[in-house]
Amino acid sequence: MTLRPDFLIVGMQRSGTLWVSAVLNGHPEIASFPTLPFEGPKGEERVGEVHFFNTLASIEQGNLENFARPLSDYLTKYGEVFADLVPLAQTLPKQEFYKVMVERYSNLCDEQRGNKNIVGESTPAYVFHLGFIDSLYPDIKKICVLRDPKDRVTSWHFSLVSKRRKEEGPITEAFALEYIEERVKKEYEALLRYNGSLYCTSYEGMTESPLKTIEGLCSYLGFEAPPDIAREMLTKGSFKEMTKRHSRGHGRERGEEGSWRQDLQDPGNTLYDVNPMRKGIVGDWKNYISMELANVIDASIAPLERGVLEKYHVRTS
């Protein structure tokens, strides 16, 4: 049997891809990561997106457009799973280099498969490289999660605040429209350009009709998810369980942000007490975005959003 991943969750950013991955991973026959912590070559536990295709894309494109990442990232990041292969990019022909990287990635996915039937990986930036993915893994199944752009703006705002890359405060029009222009529109355009096979669902649909959404996702992957299994998947992929895995075993029912504290061993350093994973709530934007700005956001993205929803037959409410 040739090793390879069976599916990918390819986008979109701040749209619940980690949640979908966690829920799918709760199925007795489906493994999905980075929801599953993976062990690096030095035995350390890592939880994080692998960014495989958008890293190789930096070689394919010759630049870092479309949210590609430099190959040098693999020297220190992602558990150094690919670190020993990075120098080969300078000595092997491009296609040969891709071959050894694909073999390593396939082996990584197979390790995460465990005793389950299929395995998939999730990195939202893959939405920009769908054709490239198909060139390396023809006919691989791909899942994309859509979400109201206003909630995505809100989620992005809090993500930057939690990482201390943005000051707390109101969400401004400049901030919102920059994110729409630089990320959301480009994702929609990538989906509209793509002519291959892709299964789209929505964060709103999964929130309002979780059992039906799970049934559709599992059917696409070739498995059944009767109500008892679907409910178990929801429990295993719940916010409480996800934060437990990512926050030293302490799960949260609610509570959106963590807090910073001083490192007693290094007073000049600060540590994060709680994983900054945020529980996404449909319509949460209403608490942070004015109706005037909401209308501006909707108007700026409406044609592209409508085209994607129609092309992929997605229900958002």
Query: Per residue in 233-261, pLDDT tens?
Result: 999 998 888 777 555 544 445 444 444 33
Q: How far apart are CA 191 and CA 313, in angstroms?
A: 13
The answer to whether residue 259 is domain-embedded is no
Q: Does residue 262 sit within a domain?
A: no
Query: What are 118's two structure tokens?
Result: 């299929």
Whole-angstrom Cα distance, residue 10 to residue 198?
A: 9
Does residue 247 sit in helix, strand or coil? coil
The whole-number average pLDDT for the span 280-284 is 90
pLDDT of residue 277: 62
The answer to the question of residue 256 being in a domain is: no
The answer to whether the CB of 127 falls within 8 A of the CB of 12 is yes
Q: What is the pLDDT of residue 113?
A: 93
Is pLDDT above 50 for 213? yes
129 within a domain of the structure (yes/no): yes
Each residue's pLDDT tens digit, 1-36: 578 999 999 999 999 999 999 999 999 999 999 864
* 265 part of a folded domain: no
Alpha-carbon span 26 to 32, nearest angstrom? 9
Give the CB-side neighbour count of residue 248, counting CA atoms within 13 A: 6
Examine residue 70 and state whether it is found in any structural domain, yes or no: yes
Look up the domain containing 233 and give its range: 7-148+195-251+302-311
Q: Which helix (H) or strand (E) holds 113?
A: helix 94-113
Banded model confidence at residue 46, pLDDT cuts 50, 70, 90? low
Burial 165-198 (b: 16+ CB within 10 A, else e): eeeeeebeeebbbebbeebbbbbbebbeebeeeb
> Number of folded domains in the chain?
1
In a domain, 173, yes or no: no
Q: What is the largest CA-CA distance in the chain?
A: 56
For residue 219, count other CB atoms closer than 10 A to its CB: 12
Dihedral Cα 310, 68, 52, 120, nearest 10 deg:
-20
DSSP secondary structure letter of residue 105 = H
Q: Is residue 45 part of a domain?
A: yes
For the whole model, what pTM was predicted? Answer: 0.89
CATH of the domain at 140: 3.40.50
CB 8 within 8 A of CB 220: no
Q: Give the DSSP letter of residue 72.
A: G
